[in-house]
Amino acid sequence: MALREATLLGIIIVFSGHIHSVFTAQNVCKTYGSGIFYTFNKTAFHLKTTCPVTLTRFSHAGVDCHIIVQRGPNGLMDRVEIIVNKVTTLVHNNTVTVEGSRISLPYNHTYQHVFHYGIYTRRQSKVLPLSVTWYSVANGVSSLWCPYEMKVPSCMGNLRFAYAMLACNHTCRSLSGTDPTCEVVDDPVEGCGCTSDTHLSNQQTCSPRPLCSCHHPGGDTPPGPVVIGGRQCSCENGQLNCPKSEDNSCISGCYCPDGLFEDHNGGCVAHENCTCEFSGRVYETGQRVETNCKICTCRGGEWSCIDEACSGVCEVFGNGQYHNFDSKWYRFDGHCQYTLVKAAGSTGQFAVKTESVPCCDESLTCSRAISVELLCVSAKM
């Protein structure tokens, strides 16, 4: 039974450990000969087939990439399909086409640049850190390779960079009690932090739980036995364990008078004047923070949040690229009229329509006519 499709997924290497400077790492996925493949993770093997083969397929920063090669009976690639951001570039019969239209080199496009690269031909993407280079002979393409460049930002010490980093419950301080960064829901962000099995210490280094200090009202204490208020305690895994006092004796130290509470600045205030903390910043009572379509107000040391309407942008540009209010991308190449936005449940109240027509470049589509309907009155631009 013939193999209908083989898939070679390029593996993007994750860098961890000590990173002291910004550097660019280049990984290469390539194919040559009668069916030799070399993947991003440096695995080489031979696959002899005339079926379409996915050389690599991935997404980066919301842009999809899909590269498919197909060899003929002679072992040469007679079809190479490169799809980036839903724009298809095809190499077939020693010609290059973009969206079905034959192009001449050099070719400069909104999303790509195709040009002669010595004896080779190269397609350089403008929306991805990726280029595709191939060598054409009389009956097809004999070799093709795709360098992928990854820029890894620098991090201090043993912190590592990640594209989905969270602050909540990722510090040694969070092991000793409630983490104030968890009081407000926040989305993952790009940045430096610790792996799931370590926590950020006061020295801005990632430490395993047994090496985390313990926090208590009198300050921080390192791991191990410690005497606090006349009691023999032990700091283990970031948590302070002290025997309960049977005589209910007082513990020496500095405390706020009855009816007052210590705020984040070390002062004693009434409960209604307690401060709040978010993302490492202290907020006075009454101050507000706007995040994730919520407005949160500090009230007596706690965040009180209400939902608010999220703003959005709907846009159309380039060769039929549409971006809706939900941040989703679509591409319509037809020379038709499309409703860009329309008020829900209304007729003639409000609508924006755009008409797509060909540009001077036959492979592109532009929006030339825009009509706006408002209260049954239509205006065309």
Distance CA(83)–CA(87), nearest Å, equals 5
Give pLDDT tens digits along the chain (381 positions): 333 333 333 322 222 333 333 444 457 889 998 889 988 878 888 888 889 998 888 888 788 889 999 999 999 999 999 999 888 999 998 899 998 899 999 998 888 899 998 899 999 988 888 889 999 998 899 999 998 876 666 788 888 877 667 778 888 888 888 877 777 666 666 678 888 889 888 778 899 999 998 988 778 889 999 888 778 899 999 888 888 765 555 666 778 888 899 888 888 999 999 999 887 789 999 999 887 678 889 998 888 888 877 777 787 766 667 777 777 777 766 667 778 888 776 666 788 888 766 655 444 555 567 888 887 777 777
Which CA distances in Å does 136 have to 117, 141, 142, 159, 380?
Answer: 12, 4, 6, 46, 49
Residue 14: in which H helix or E strand, if any? none
Strand segments (E) across 254-349: 260-262, 268-270, 276-278, 281-283, 288-291, 294-299, 302-307, 315-317, 321-323, 329-331, 337-342
Q: Which residues pair with 56 in a beta bridge?
A: 67
Distance CA(65)–CA(253), nearest Å, equals 62
Tally of CB atoms within 10 A around 323: 15
DSSP string, 177-209: S--GGGSS----EEEEE--TT-EE-TTS-EE-G
What backbone torsions phi and psi does residue 77 show, to the nearest 5 degrees?
-80, 115
Q: Which residues pair with 79 in a beta bridge?
A: 70, 92
Question: What pTM, to 2 d.p., does this model score?
Answer: 0.39
Tally of CB atoms within 10 A around 230: 10
Tokens found for residue 315:
């846009």
Tokens found for residue 368:
């030339």
9 burial (CB, 10 Å; 0-12 / 13-18 / 19+) is middle
